[in-house]
Amino acid sequence: MKTIRMFMLTGAVALLYSCGSGDGEADAYGNFEVDEITVSAMVPGEIMALEIKEGDHLEKGQRIGWIDTTDLHLQRLEVEANIGLIKSQYAAIAAQIEVLQSNKKILLTEIDRTTKLLASNAATTKNMDDLNGQLHVVNKQIASIETQNPSVIGQLNIARAKLEQINEKCVKSIITNPIDGIVLDKIMRQHELAGPGMPIYTIADLSVMEFRAYLAGNQLSRVKLGDTVVVKVDGEDGDLIPFEGRIKWISDQAEFTPKIIQTKEERVDMVYAIKVDVLNDGTLKMGMPGELYFSATSDADSK
């Protein structure tokens, strides 16, 4: 996000302020600004659609275009096939373990039976030794196969994560407008090649404009955050058109006076910037100069 500051010079000075002597003079002069958002591409590819033009009013969340996803689609098919293969490997391992567990269950049953026969001298210790040997082999086989599970599961998790990344890129390929506002500049066009971070268009909410002016140190005591003020702009017939505004920011640090800022009588070494939010009915434009009055009564005095 960046702030456009277009200063327009009228007469000898562009931004003039005085202490308001009560003779109808403005307390400060300044210009209107707007917060501009640059909407950039989030994935690389050809812009297949971009349904906007400069001056269009867009709503927040509105889909206004998309970037080619052919490569992403092919990558997704490859990853999905790999996931299917890994699942087959996992299923094969599970099937082997199931067979061995079944054999183990049979052996345990046979060992239990042989133990009883051995107690009645109906079986030999060799029979028992043979069964225990077979059980040991089966247990080792099960343990050996089970060691493959973590590796296969790890491969499956990696493949699934890659699939999620591809799906997320597909979502980001849809160009979605972030705010309610007016398109200021269409930077890229349909069929042009975009890259991550490359600007596509700029947009700003012009329903509330920001009036920026500078005050001398001895004027600061007259204002505070939240104060209602009047900002006036030139009308077609030469009359001043008043707008109510509210002070939203006062700089806590003085800065050297810009060269284009002068007081009524002489330059002031240090000034403080202020910002005023003003509702815009469509009259206010970026860079338009205006006059700031601390008290709403100044509006009545000027009429």
Q: Which position has the token pair 């277009």?
A: 6
Work out the burial of residue 226: count CB atoms within 10 Å of its CB; fewer than 13 is exposed, 13-18 middle, 19 or more buried.
Answer: exposed
Fold of 2-41+205-301: Elongation Factor Tu (Ef-tu); domain 3 (2.40.30)
User: Residues of the chain with pLDDT > 90: what percent?
Assistant: 72
Say how far apart CA 300 and CA 295 lie, in whole Å.
10
85 sits in which H/E element = helix 70-119
- Does residue 283 carry a pLDDT above 60? yes
Query: What rounded mean pLDDT belongs to the chain?
Result: 87
pLDDT confidence tier of residue 298, bands split at 50, 70 and 90: very low
The whole-number pLDDT of residue 237 equals: 85
pLDDT tens-digit profile of 28-58? Answer: 999 999 999 999 999 999 999 999 999 999 9
pLDDT tens-digit profile of 91-102? Answer: 999 999 999 999
Query: What token pair was written down for 118?
Result: 């051995």
pLDDT confidence tier of residue 5, bands split at 50, 70 and 90: very low
Q: Which position has the token pair 């329903």?
A: 207
At 98, the amino acid letter reads E
Which residue ranges make up each domain of the chain?
2-41+205-301, 47-63+176-202, 70-171
pLDDT confidence tier of residue 158, bands split at 50, 70 and 90: very high
CA distances from 186 to 4, 174, 201, 285, 293 (A): 16, 17, 4, 19, 37
pLDDT tens-digit profile of 238-275? Answer: 899 999 999 999 998 888 766 565 444 345 678 899 99
- Does residue 23 carry a pLDDT above 60? no
The whole-number pLDDT of residue 20 equals: 42
Average of per-residue pLDDT across 279-283: 94
Query: What token pair was written down for 60?
Result: 């927040």
pLDDT tens-digit profile of 109-134? Answer: 999 999 989 888 888 889 989 999 99
Could you tell me the pTM of the whole model?
0.70
User: Taking Cα atoms as reference points, which of 295, 292, 301, 297 lies closest to residue 29?
Assistant: 292
Say how far apart CA 285 and CA 72 lie, in whole Å.
42
Sign of the dihedral through C-alpha 79, 83, 89, 92: negative
pLDDT tens-digit profile of 187-212? Answer: 999 999 999 999 999 999 999 999 99
The whole-number pLDDT of residue 177 equals: 98
pLDDT confidence tier of residue 296, bands split at 50, 70 and 90: low
- DSSP result, 223-284: --TT-EEEEEEE-TTSPEEEEEEEEEEE-SS-EEPPTTEE-SSS--SEEEEEEEEEE-SS--
The whole-number pLDDT of residue 38 equals: 98
